[in-house]
Structure 1
Amino acid sequence: MSDTAKTAFLHGGLLALLFALQFVLPAYHHGNLARIMVLASFAIGFNVMFGYTGLLSLGHALFFAAGMYGMGLSVQILGFSPAPALIAGLIAGLVVAALVGALALRTVGVAFMIVTLMFAQAGYLTVLYFGSYTRGDEGFVIQQAQRMLWGIDLSDPANRYFAAFALFAVCLLTTLALVRSPFGKVLIAIRENEDRARMLGYDVFKYKLAAVIVSGTISAAAGAAYGLLFGYVGATFASVQYSIFPLLWVLLGGAGTVLGPFIGTLFMFYLIDLSSGITTAYMLIAGVVLVLLTLFAPQGLAGELRKRVWRGLP
């Protein structure tokens, strides 16, 4: 079987499985998987920037929150219906990503990490400062009547699952197409050896900025969808922990693999969920497991699959 056929079978098989699970999962896991697919889309956006371009951002919560608040505030204050509100969230994320990328990419390495973290903290403090509109840490609820998309009630569990699945499928397939395209190959070349890519005539700054914009827009789409599907917008999603989460998910699943973000998000979500049912010190169990994975699977779960089973795994 050719690599193209294997790729289609693997990724198509995952999407077919997720689609079918809608009809058999119990309510608890049904809701969890919908949430996981949205958060995995967030991680997919982070992976474009970190896994494929080699840019370690510590401020991705800014893009997630930009999409969430772009959508939420346009519904709450401007009275938008869900479709234009989602577009507003995407535009907000794209604009923020373009501005942050144009400024942060003037730095490299540790400085880039610090600058992105500072931008994210500035975004978080901005949300708190304009608390009269954003409701700060308390956040605000998007009512059921405001979550009707083309006559479909997104507060209904089945509709919410299919919407989350549609978002995840689009993000997954878009990333797969991107990394197999000439543009994606250039991003990987920049990750592997930026100086050589520059020597070959590529405008490295332009490609890196494009990667930041694509990454930020995907993350904003996830943020907007999360707020709309689960009916809540709050400052917690702009905090530092939501910049660390996608990094953990991608590292656990396998940076630079298309399936890695989903695998890492699924693993981390249920690791914490199951640990919390055993003890109140559930983060200790999660921490031990993460350390063991880092020691024995340093390339992440999908990365180990690529290393040991299929070297052509995208």
Structure 2
Amino acid sequence: MRASLALHLGLVAVLFALNFVLPAYAHGNIARVMTLAVYAIGYNIAFGYTGLLSLGHAMFFAAGMYGAGLLLRFTDAGAVAAFGVALACGAGLALVTGLLALRTAGVSFMIVTLMFSQACALAILYFAEYTRGDEGFVIAAASRVVAGHDLGDAQVRYLAAWALFSAAFLFSLWLVNRPMGKVLVAIRENEPRARLLGYDTFRLKLGALVISGMVSAASGAGYGLFFGYAGASFAGVQYSIFPLLWVLLGGAGTVIGPFLGTLFMFYLIDLSSGITDAYMLIAGVALIGLTLFAPQGIAGELRRRAWRGLP
């Protein structure tokens, strides 16, 4: 346990130190990676630890982004209040979705979550008078200020993204080591047996989905506040697929895996796009190779081969 804690705290410390040494381009990229990794962490709680394969998590990311963005666009509530509203939007939407979707399982659950997500995406387009539809809207710089610090400033943005990532990352580590986390893994591995042991699996899965939705919404709100934009593309199907890929690549059911997967895929696409316009072909070949030779993901292979106690 001490070695695991040291590893995870070490990553947090390294990311903090990088703020002072990275060149401008990499500095902005890592801030973006940390923000999106929070989304992957939220997805990992539902899929990696509980076994809920969702194809609709973009609705939670978008709920956080638009919950914060619309509040700031039409009121003077402030960034902190907007972030709180975003968390409430993500948790509330996840609760409603879970109460209905968790009555199904497997492929049916995937389809229901996808349908909910598509409904949310269409709602964003339908209410274009407020959301600006496909065009999206810029979140005013004056609204993106916390305690006198402008979130648009590169240094402040990086440290804010680091703080958000660190909170989600360490919360995930804490959760999976708590009794609830252990039971979620038991549900993932054998739900009928967990139910036989007396656990209310519906309530626990619902709780996991609400936590997952809230963490995903925190990422969406952070992305909007840090980078100053909210757009309908973030509610599309591709943004439901991305966290699944990040988690699978990094290692589903590991705490550090979502960050590794997000970092790997972000830079894979970034570097490939600098070589050719067909960058997705290069990315696809690399992803297939990683899937074939490291089917449990980067952290999953590390746990299988060298460190069985890695959470």
Superposition TM-score tier, normalisation by shorter sequence: over 0.9
* Residues 245-256 of structure 1 mapped to structure 2, 5 A cutoff: 245-256=242-253
One-letter code aligned to 1:288? V
- Give the equivalent residue in structure 1 for 2:119: 122
- Residues in 1 aligned to 2:8 and 2:85: alpha-carbon distance in whole angstroms: 30
Q: Does 1:153 align with 2:150?
A: yes
Distance, in Å, in 2 between the alignment partners of 1:308 and 1:52 is 20
1:213 and 2:191 equivalent? no
Correspondence for 2:12 among 12, 15, 18: 15
Cα deviations across residues 177-224 of structure 1 (Å, max 9, x unaligned)? 000000000000000000000000000000000000000000000100
Question: 1:82-161 residue pairs with structure 2 within 5 A?
Answer: 82-161=79-158
User: TM-score scaled by structure 1?
Assistant: 0.99
1:22 is matched by which residue type in structure 2?
N
Name the structure 2 match of 1:187: 184
Q: Could you tell me how far 1:78 is from its partner in structure 2?
A: 2.3
- Shift of residue 84, structure 1, vs aligned partner: 0.5
Separation of aligned partners in 2, 1:144 and 1:119: 32
Answer whether contact 2:64 2:90 (CA < 8 A) is retained: yes
- The 5 A counterparts of 1:72-87 are 72-87=69-84
Q: CA deviation at 1:9?
A: 1.2
Tell me, yes or no, if structure 1 residue 282 matches structure 2 residue 288.
no
Q: Which amino acid counterpart does residue 112 of structure 2 have in structure 1?
A: V
What pairs up with 1:44-63 in 2 under 5 angstroms? 44-63=41-60
Percentage of pairs with the same residue: 67
Per the normalisation by structure 2, the TM-score is 0.99
**1:81-138 Cα distance to aligned partner (Å, 9 max, x none):** 1011111111111100000011000000000000000000000000000000000110
Note the C-alpha offset of 1:305: 0.3
Residue deviations 1:164-184, cap 9 Å, x none? 000000000000000000000
Rounded to whole Å, the distance in 2 between the matches of 1:129 and 1:86 is: 24
- 1:79 Cα offset (Å): 2.5
Aligned match of 1:305: 302
Structure 1 counterpart of 2:173, one-letter code: L
Structure 2 Cα separation of the partners of residues 238 and 193 of structure 1 = 32
Q: Is the 8 A contact 2:73 2:140 kept in 1?
A: no
Deviations 1:48-89 (A, max 9, x none): 000000000000000000011000000001232101111111
1:143, CA displacement in angstroms? Answer: 1.6
**1:269 partnered with 2:271:** no
| Structure 1 position 282, deviation (Å) | 0.3
Q: Does 1:203 align with 2:203?
A: no
- Deviation at 1:270? 0.2
User: RMSD value over aligned CA atoms?
Assistant: 0.5
Note the residue ranges of structure 1 that are not aligned, 5 or more in a row: none
Note the alpha carbon deviations across 1:238-274, whole angstroms, 9 max, x for none. 0000000000000000000000000000000000000
Describe how 1:37-48 pairs up with structure 2 within 5 A: 37-48=34-45
| Matched position secondary structure for 2:223 | helix
